[in-house]
Structure 1
Amino acid sequence: MKKGYWISLYIKIENQENLKKYADTVTPIIKSFGGVPLIRGGKYETHDGDEFTRSVVWEFPSYEKAVQCHNSKEYQDGWGFAKDTTSRHMQIIEGF
């Protein structure tokens, strides 16, 4: 079975406290779907393309689990803490 990945590239974060509430709320939810954090912020260099203020990558046991987690009511409720003060590019991608 191919793994699934959430890749989130944060364009703008207007309220760090809202982002923290979101992260504190959704981390256990994501983990309950088998999600494992691979990248959550950290030191970086941009060589080509746009600059993002934060990058986050989660690995899931399958693409289907990644989609289920994102679409779950629990995750969507948690995203509500940050969605009005955070702009991001987020994709769910199947691994190989």
Structure 2
Amino acid sequence: MSYSFSVTAANKAAAKLAVAARFDEVIGAQPIHARDRELAIANANAAIDMLTDDDTMHVMVSLGGSVGWREPLTDACDNQLTAASISASAWLVATPS
């Protein structure tokens, strides 16, 4: 099961909050992703942290990933994962006018 999204925020701290909020929306639609939430957000935060601080720019973050498993998916989402992927990118973008 996979996800992919982008967020844009006024600064690095706001970008981290936006990523976490958007990931929680992913979990609402795909509960299995509660399993990779912490690692995915940590990956995005690491990319954000690499950026320089620039009050004249916004921060855009793109996050995507997937998990796989063998057994039928249950409501409890306690399946053993057999595959995982996390990809995060972050960059400074012009402040919207």
TM-score by length of 1: 0.33
Structure of higher CA gyration radius: 2
TM-score (structure 2 length as normaliser): 0.33
Higher-RCO chain (CA-CA 8 Å, sequence separation at least 6): 1
